[in-house]
Copies of this chain bind each other. A is one copy, B any other.
Amino acid sequence: MLNETAKVIPRDCGDCPIRHRAVCARCESEELDRLDKIKYYRSFEAGQTVIWAGDKMDFVGSVVSGIATLTQTMEDGRTQMVGLLLPSDFVGRPGRETATYDVVATSEMVMCCFRRKPFEEMMVVTPHIAQRLLEMTLDELDAAREWMLVLGRKTAREKIASLLSIIARRDASLTFGKTAGPMVFDLPLTREAMADYLGLTLETVSRQISALRKDGVIVLEGKRHVTVPDFNRLMEEAGDDSDGGLLA
């Protein structure tokens, strides 16, 4: 089975699995050559922290393979996930010296890092990079706003269903979205990470997953392997229009 969290270090950009989706997507070969000179790959183990909020950050970069989370923590320990970083997603903010959020790898992960200063200089003279970054940032803003509706207005059950449908949809888009038939995927997050994503406790997450299983909305094998027999049913449980959302 194709494991999306597998450790993959490309030989070069032509070999890179995120070549056509990352911040470098619009770059031409001469531009790639210049990026090549300021880039390096870094690997992280599952659970390893990439950077702490407030730390100095002298790189920006793209997730090549694996999954990472962006989280914010209050003084008393309450934490909220504010971003889920998948392959091709961008990490860091050009022009900013310090990290705003904790970045943690939740699976084995590989990043393509660019030294920050040279990257910023290159952005000024390379519209292709800034254009693509703008597009990606606008997409992330839309995703964040969608997420705000989930956090602010949905019930625990709807929140779980929403998260499952997001993951299911993403997996479908990787495996050549056949909408028909059951969807099958593995949860890339622990119950606790799901709770941090959804603004719940891990106990509530566990209870609602059990409830959705009892009601036949999902089928579980083990703790992480999920089958969705009827995706429209899942969408209804998420409180979403059953037609929309295929754009994501």
Contacts and interface: CB of A to CB of B under 8 A. Distances in A.
A153 B75 contact: no
A239 interface: yes
Interface residues of A, number: 38
A148 B147 contact: yes
A166 interface: no
Nearest to A159: B152
Nearest to A141: B141
Given A134-B133, A137-B134, A199-B151, A145 B101 contact: yes
A68 to B, nearest CB: 15
A145 B83 contact: yes
B80 A152 contact: yes
A16 interface: no
A101 B74 CA distance: 30
- How many copies the complex holds: the figure is 2
A100 B142 contact: yes
A130 interface: yes
Contacts of A198: 152
A140 B142 contact: no
Contacts of A138: 93, 137
A27 B128 CA distance: 20
The 10 closest A-B pairs by CB, nearest first: A152-B199, A82-B145, A151-B151, A144-B144, A80-B149, A80-B152, A78-B153, A151-B152, A134-B134, A137-B137
Interface of A: 70, 72, 74-76, 78-80, 82-83, 93, 95, 100-101, 127, 130-131, 133-135, 137-138, 140-142, 144-149, 151-153, 198-199, 239, 241
25 contacts: A72-B145, A72-B148, A74-B153, A76-B239, A79-B153, A80-B149, A80-B153, A82-B145, A82-B148, A83-B145, A100-B142, A100-B145, A130-B131, A130-B134, A134-B134, A134-B137, A137-B137, A137-B138, A137-B141, A140-B141, A144-B144, A147-B148, A148-B151, A151-B151, A152-B198
